[in-house]
Amino acid sequence: MRRLIRWVLVAVIAAGAGWVLRLTFLERAGRRRLAVPPSEPWPDPPGRDGPAPHPPAGAPVAADPPAGAGRAWVAPLDGGACPSSHPVKAKLRSRVFHLPGMAAYGRTGADRCYAAAEAAEADGFRRASR
């Protein structure tokens, strides 16, 4: 049994060394293949002939919306804490939101902060179970 284990171990080490040498020599020779071959640039979408046109001179221009307008959420403060105006903590990876008073609220670092649970649900988050 020991002889078999020793033989397998030597074979694995030799194969690994051979692979490293192969990659080293191919890289030096400049023959190493790219993982993804280069592609042609994407064509323009149909019906589009260049950049979007500018509005005519003298046309009314809409004012820029105030910062945060149009978004139901705000970015968290340092450390993942939410401001008092937006206490609902939401995590992007799990798509779960936590309300103040819930079991994991204190240890949850927020990715987004919402003013109300309804706003978080509208963005596709679900309420935490505890």
Residue 43 lies in a domain: no
51 found inside a domain = no
Q: Is residue 39 part of a domain?
A: no
Taking every pair of Cα atoms in the chain, the longest distance, rounded to a whole number of angstroms, is 89
**Is position 23 within any domain?**
yes
Give the residue ranges of DSSP H helices in the chain: 2-29, 117-122
Q: In the 8-state DSSP scheme, what is residue 67?
A: T
End-to-end CA distance of the chain: 53
Residue 102 lies in a domain: yes
In a domain, 82, yes or no: yes
Q: How far apart are CA 89 and CA 82, in angstroms?
A: 7
**How many domains are there within the chain?**
2
Boundaries of domain holding 16? 1-34
Could you tell me if residue 57 is inside a domain?
no
Q: Which DSSP category does 72 fall into?
A: S
CB 64 within 8 A of CB 70: no
Q: Are strands 126-127 and 96-98 parallel, antiparallel or unpaired?
A: parallel
Per-residue pLDDT of the chain (130 residues; tens, 9 = 90+): 889 999 999 999 999 888 888 877 766 666 555 555 556 666 666 665 555 555 566 666 555 445 545 578 999 998 889 999 999 999 999 999 999 999 999 999 999 999 999 999 999 999 999 8
Q: Which two tokens stand for residue 56?
A: 């005519």
Q: Output the pLDDT for position 46.
A: 64
Residue 14 lies in a domain: yes
